[in-house]
């Protein structure tokens, strides 16, 4: 069952303090991607991350999604600094239970049916087969894919695949949704549908962090964070926002 | 959860059927080889044991040697047994027999069977017991009477069910002999001869009328204790040399073998053969394991993106490790089971060619199966570990 979070606008869900991220190339050269990012995101906020390519958008999202360790700085998730956690079990637990990832290219398992794809994170969470498939069915029905449960990704349209991916992100009822260009591979109609789902998350009290380079998509967000050269250069709330 | 991971592993193996089957092939061949080889080894040992079952550790056999060096023909005779018995200090019992093959007929039935012409102690030493009729007497032995006792197998070959062989006249190499007794089944062999399929008669009769110079003389001697086998062997050798009037420069015109060393040597060679063959099979399995490892590495490389996705949605290293490990274990286990089936089917087929004795055993399949599972775990572990440790972002980026 989708949980409806109570609105607590003042509670800070995510806080980054002076976060740095750099890579080492094969020749030993250091490439700095994030250079001291400071950021606060409140619970239930819908945030869009924008900026030029190479500005560090995806790297920031990957750090928020615990897919990347940070090189320096602090990452508070609901008040707890997880910036120096390297233990796979804990990180996998956070990715599994606290967050839901949505990708541009959907990233569904081609061998699995829509139902199995949606249920997979619940399998990793150790849920019983009946529980997880029941919940997956319910989610898919809510999102209008009740007649596509046993279709494989190749038998679905792009919009349908992204909706399956949305259900997968929701199966463990996470508080945070992370999306990397979720409409990037969709036609405008499907993109609109996905954005409607995203604004719905807000009503459910979920925090949404979305990387995009399209202003049209970004306007659905409460706030747009611009990154340039690995730094936040602006993060103003939009007019329609109630923050 | 575990069942679901097994299902997913099977699904991904089925998605690449040709590759799965090819990588299983090595395991199949390996395991069926292990089983066949084990059966051959066991069979060889069993054959050795059967062949020497009738011998006790005290038994010493003496056989004639023909046409070797200066000795044109062995002077070994059945009577030599009596002399050894009389003179030997370490000898408990010495019997002799002349053996050969002859065609035997009774009524419309005819067969080629072994002939054993022996002295009277031979029946005791060979554990032969009468089923019906009587034994051959001293008088019959002395008079070279044409009487015979049938082994149980020989009796069933020549006579119909319910027919009484006692008193019947059988024809052996054109000579008529009267059946006076039938032995109970013993199941043992004396060298290549199956005792049950033999026909027994006084050695005098066999020598004079049936086999003549075609028969080969075998002395069956029991030492008075297992510890004295060596002394008894030396003793009987010198008695025989003296009796055959051999000069010091002349070689023995007979061969002496004691049961202990005969059985030991035969068993040892059978064992060695089975060890060598098993080793070859093990190498086959090892090579097939490397094949599986290769396939698993390719699979991991191909599915790098999937691994990234799995990690992004909360898959733990353990989940990914177990899925890939299960894939290789399933490959090798299924291969192992098919190998066992092929091996077990092959055993009776190979046996039917009568080239060698095969004995199916539980150990062979068990060994082959556990080896194949082990190969799957061992060679699947490294690729699976590598998969589970991939960086999620790098993995997601790969295509």
pLDDT of residue B55 exceeding 70: no
Mark yes or no for CB contact A92/B392 under 8 Å.
no
Mark yes or no for CB contact B313/A67 under 8 Å.
no
Residue A2, pLDDT score: 46
Better pLDDT: B369 or A113: A113
Spatial neighbors of A84 by CB under 8 A, at least 6 apart, are none
Which residue in B313, B316, B396 is closest to A168 by CB distance?
B313
Q: How do beta strands A207-211 and A30-42 pair?
A: unpaired
The answer, for A62 touching chain B at a CB cutoff of 8 Å, is yes
Give the separation between CA B392 and CA B399, rounded to whole angstroms: 13
> Span B13-24, mean pLDDT?
87
- Taking CB atoms and an 8 Å cutoff, what residues of chain A touch B309? 103, 107, 109
- Taking CB atoms and an 8 Å cutoff, what residues of chain A touch B299? none
Between chain A and chain B, how many beta carbons pairs sit less than 8 Å apart?
62
Give the separation between CA B395 and CA A25, rounded to whole angstroms: 17
> Span A128-154, mean pLDDT?
94
Instruction: For an interface test with A, give the residue of B314, B392, B397, B398 to mutate (most A CBs within 10 A).
Output: B314
| Nearest CA distance, B374 vs chain A (angstrom) | 27
pLDDT of residue A9 exceeding 60: no
Mark yes or no for CB contact A101/B313 under 8 Å.
yes
> Span B246-269, mean pLDDT?
81
* Percentage of residues in chain B having pLDDT higher than 70: 93
Query: CA B240 from chain center: how many Å?
Result: 34
User: Is residue B184 within 8 Å of residue B152, measured between CB atoms?
Assistant: yes
pLDDT tens string A183-203: 999 999 999 999 999 999 988
Q: What is the DSSP string of B331-373?
A: HHHHHHHHHHHHHHHHHHHHHHTTSS-----SHHHHHHHHHHH
pLDDT of residue B71 exceeding 70: no
> Span B220-238, mean pLDDT?
86
Residue B214 gets the label, from left (phi > 0), alpha (psi -120 to 50) or beta, of: alpha
Residue B69, pLDDT score: 46
| Nearest CA distance, B24 vs chain A (angstrom) | 22
pLDDT of residue A8 exceeding 70: no
Hey, what are B367's tokens?
């060994």
**pLDDT-based confidence at residue A156 (cuts at 50, 70, 90):** very high
What mean pLDDT is reported for chain B? 84
**pLDDT-based confidence at residue A123 (cuts at 50, 70, 90):** very high
Better pLDDT: A161 or A6: A161
| Nearest CA distance, B278 vs chain A (angstrom) | 41
Hey, what are B63's tokens?
């056989």
The answer, for A93 touching chain B at a CB cutoff of 8 Å, is yes
**pLDDT-based confidence at residue B54 (cuts at 50, 70, 90):** low
Query: CA B235 from chain center: how many Å?
Result: 33
The answer, for B313 touching chain A at a CB cutoff of 8 Å, is yes
Q: Does a structural domain hold residue A33?
A: no
> Span A91-120, mean pLDDT?
94
Residue B68, pLDDT score: 46
The answer, for B6 touching chain A at a CB cutoff of 8 Å, is no
SS3 B64: strand
pLDDT of residue B101 exceeding 90: no
Residue B299, pLDDT score: 85
> Span B132-154, mean pLDDT?
90
- Taking CB atoms and an 8 Å cutoff, what residues of chain A touch B385? none
Which residue in B4, B11, B393 is closest to A68 by CB distance?
B393
Give the separation between CA B343 and CA B34, rounded to whole angstroms: 8
- CATH code of the domain in which A169 resides: 3.40.50.300
> Span A166-177, mean pLDDT?
96
Q: How many CB atoms lie within 10 A of CB A215?
A: 10
Instruction: For an interface test with A, give the residue of B311, B312, B315, B396 to mutate (most A CBs within 10 A).
Output: B312
pTM, entire model? 0.67
A145-154 CB contacts, 8 Å cutoff, 24+ apart? A145/A114, A148/A114, A149/A113, A149/A114, A149/A115, A150/A113, A150/A114, A150/A115, A151/A113, A151/A114, A152/A110, A152/A111, A152/A112, A152/A113, A152/A114, A153/A106, A153/A108, A153/A109, A153/A110, A153/A114, A153/A117, A154/A110
pLDDT of residue B264 exceeding 90: no
Better pLDDT: B128 or A148: A148
| Interhelix angle B317-352/B304-312, nearest 10 degrees | 140
Asked which of B103-112, B139-148, B279-288, B318-327 is least confident by mean pLDDT, the reply is B279-288
Asked which of A95-109, B122-136, B263-277, B362-376 is least confident by mean pLDDT, the reply is B263-277
SS3 A107: coil
Better pLDDT: B110 or A172: A172
| Nearest CA distance, B47 vs chain A (angstrom) | 55
Give the separation between CA B150 and CA B218, rounded to whole angstroms: 19
The answer, for A92 touching chain B at a CB cutoff of 8 Å, is yes
> Span B174-180, mean pLDDT?
90
Q: Does a structural domain hold residue A19?
A: no
Residue B70, pLDDT score: 42
φ and ψ at residue B147, rounded to 5 degrees: -125, 155
Give the separation between CA B136 and CA B130, rounded to whole angstroms: 11
Which residue in A62, A125, A129 is closest to B4 by CB distance?
A129
SS3 B131: strand
Overall number of domains in chain A: 1
Give the separation between CA A34 and CA A18, rounded to whole angstroms: 9
Q: How do beta strands A80-81 and A99-102 pair?
A: unpaired
| Nearest CA distance, A165 vs chain B (angstrom) | 10
Give the separation between CA B113 and CA A37, rounded to whole angstroms: 101
Mark yes or no for CB contact A107/B309 under 8 Å.
yes
Which residue in A88, A112, A129 is closest to B317 by CB distance?
A88
Spatial neighbors of B264 by CB under 8 A, at least 6 apart, are none
Print the domain residue range for A110.
45-67+88-234
Give the separation between CA B261 and CA B295, rounded to whole angstroms: 51
SS percent in chain A: helix, strand, coil, step 5: 35, 25, 40
- Taking CB atoms and an 8 Å cutoff, what residues of chain B touch A96? 313-315
Asked which of A178-187, A194-203, B207-216, B297-306 is least confident by mean pLDDT, the reply is B207-216
pLDDT of residue A74 exceeding 90: yes
How far is residue B325 from each of residues A79, B159, B215, B322, B362, measured CA to CA in Å? 38, 65, 67, 5, 28
Residue A198, pLDDT score: 94
Mark yes or no for CB contact A124/B15 under 8 Å.
no
Hey, what are A197's tokens?
């789902």
Which residue in A89, A96, A111 is closest to B15 by CB distance?
A111
The answer, for A123 touching chain B at a CB cutoff of 8 Å, is yes
SS3 A186: coil
pLDDT of residue A239 exceeding 80: no
Nearest by Cα to B325 from B373, B374, B376: B376
* Percentage of residues in chain B having pLDDT higher than 90: 13
Q: Determine the residue of chain B that is closest to A132 in CA distance.
A: B1
Q: Determine the residue of chain A that is closest to B320 in CA distance.
A: A124
Give the separation between CA B197 and CA B187, rounded to whole angstroms: 9
φ and ψ at residue B332, rounded to 5 degrees: -75, -35
Residue with tokens 């390519």: A53
Nearest by Cα to B325 from B299, B304, B306: B299
The answer, for A113 touching chain B at a CB cutoff of 8 Å, is no
Give the separation between CA B311 and CA A102, rounded to whole angstroms: 13
- Taking CB atoms and an 8 Å cutoff, what residues of chain A touch B305? 107
Q: Determine the residue of chain A that is closest to B307 in CA distance.
A: A109
How far is residue A141 from each of residues A114, A147, A149, measured CA to CA in Å? 11, 8, 9
pLDDT of residue A180 exceeding 70: yes
Nearest by Cα to A177 from A48, A39, A11, A25: A48
Hey, what are A121's tokens?
């994170």
Mark yes or no for CB contact A124/B314 under 8 Å.
yes
Residue boundaries of the structural domains of chain B: 2-50+265-397, 66-252
Mark yes or no for CB contact A126/B1 under 8 Å.
yes
Better pLDDT: B367 or B149: B149
What mean pLDDT is reported for chain A? 91
Mark yes or no for CB contact A124/B313 under 8 Å.
yes
A186-194 CB contacts, 8 Å cutoff, 24+ apart? A186/A158, A186/A159, A186/A162, A187/A158, A187/A159, A189/A159, A190/A157, A190/A158, A190/A159, A190/A162, A191/A217, A193/A159, A193/A163, A194/A159, A194/A162, A194/A163, A194/A166
Q: What is the DSSP string of B288-314?
A: HHHHHHHHHHHHHHHTHHHHHHHHHTT
Enter the DSSP assignment of B78.
T
The answer, for B7 touching chain A at a CB cutoff of 8 Å, is no
- Taking CB atoms and an 8 Å cutoff, what residues of chain B touch A107? 305, 309, 312, 396
> Span A138-156, mean pLDDT?
95
């Amino acid at each position: 069952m989708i949980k409806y979070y109570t609105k607590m606008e003042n509670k800070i869900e995510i806080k980054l303090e002076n976060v740095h991220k750099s890579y080492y190339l094969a020749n030993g050269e250091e490439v700095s991607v994030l250079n001291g990012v400071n950021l606060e995101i409140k619970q239930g906020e819908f945030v869009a991350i924008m900026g030029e390519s190479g500005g560090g958008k995806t790297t920031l999202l990957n750090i928020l999604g615990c897919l990347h360790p940070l090189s320096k700085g602090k990452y508070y998730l609901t008040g707890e600094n997880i910036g120096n956690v390297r233990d796979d079990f804990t990180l996998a637990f956070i990715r599994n239970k606290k967050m839901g990832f949505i990708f541009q290219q959907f990233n569904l398992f081609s061998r699995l049916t829509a139902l199995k794809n949606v249920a997979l994170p619940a399998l990793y969470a150790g849920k019983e087969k009946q529980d997880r498939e029941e919940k997956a069915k319910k989610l898919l029905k809510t999102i209008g894919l009740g007649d596509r449960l046993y279709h494989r990704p190749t038998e679905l349209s792009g919009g349908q695949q992204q909706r399956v991916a949305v259900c997968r992100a929701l199966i463990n009822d996470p508080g945070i949704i992370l999306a990397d260009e979720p409409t990037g591979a969709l036609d405008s109609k499907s993109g609109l549908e996905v954005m409607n789902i995203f604004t719905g998350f807000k009503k459910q009290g979920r925090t949404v962090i979305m990387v995009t380079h399209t202003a049209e998509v970004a306007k659905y967000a409460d706030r747009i964070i611009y990154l340039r050269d690995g730094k936040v250069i602006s993060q103003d709330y939009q007019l329609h926002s109630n923050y | 959860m575990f069942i679901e991971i097994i299902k997913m592993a099977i699904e991904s193996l089925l998605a690449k059927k040709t590759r799965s089957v090819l990588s299983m092939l090595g395991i199949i061949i390996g395991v069926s080889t292990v089983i066949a080889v084990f059966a051959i080894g066991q069979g060889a040992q069993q054959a050795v044991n059967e062949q020497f079952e009738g011998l006790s550790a005290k038994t010493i056999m003496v056989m004639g040697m023909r046409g070797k060096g200066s000795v044109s023909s062995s002077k070994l005779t059945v009577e030599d047994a009596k002399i050894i018995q009389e003179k030997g200090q370490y000898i408990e019992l010495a019997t002799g027999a002349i053996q050969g093959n002859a065609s035997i007929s009774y009524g419309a039935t005819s067969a080629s069977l072994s002939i054993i012409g022996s002295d009277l102690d031979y029946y005791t030493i060979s554990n032969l017991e009468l089923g019906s009729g009587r034994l051959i007497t001293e008088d019959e032995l002395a008079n070279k009477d044409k009487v015979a006792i049938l082994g149980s197998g020989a009796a069933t070959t020549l006579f119909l069910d319910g027919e009484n062989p006692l008193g019947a006249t059988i024809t052996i190499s054109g000579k008529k002999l009267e059946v006076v007794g039938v032995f109970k089944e013993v199941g043992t062999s004396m060298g290549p001869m199956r005792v049950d399929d033999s026909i027994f008669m006084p050695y005098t009769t066999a020598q004079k009328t049936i086999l003549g110079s075609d028969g080969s003389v075998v002395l069956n001697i029991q030492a008075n204790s297992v510890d004295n086998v060596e002394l008894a062997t030396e003793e009987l050798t010198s008695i025989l040399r003296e009796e055959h009037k051999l000069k010091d420069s002349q070689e023995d015109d007979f061969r002496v073998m004691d049961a202990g060393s005969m059985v030991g040597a035969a068993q040892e060679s059978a064992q060695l053969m089975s060890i060598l063959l098993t080793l070859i099979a093990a190498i086959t399995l090892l090579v097939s394991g490397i094949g599986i490892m290769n396939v698993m590495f390719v699979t991991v490389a191909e599915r790098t993106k999937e691994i990234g996705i799995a990690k992004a949605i909360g898959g733990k290293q353990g989940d990914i490790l177990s899925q890939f490990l299960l894939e290789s274990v399933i490959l090798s286990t299924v291969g192992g089971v098919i190998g066992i089936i092929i091996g077990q089917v092959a055993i009776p087929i190979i046996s039917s060619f009568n080239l060698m004795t095969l004995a199916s055993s539980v150990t062979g399949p068990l060994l082959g199966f556990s080896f194949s599972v082990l190969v799957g775990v061992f060679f699947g572990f490294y690729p699976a570990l590598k998969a589970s440790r991939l960086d999620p972002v790098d993995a997601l980026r790969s295509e």
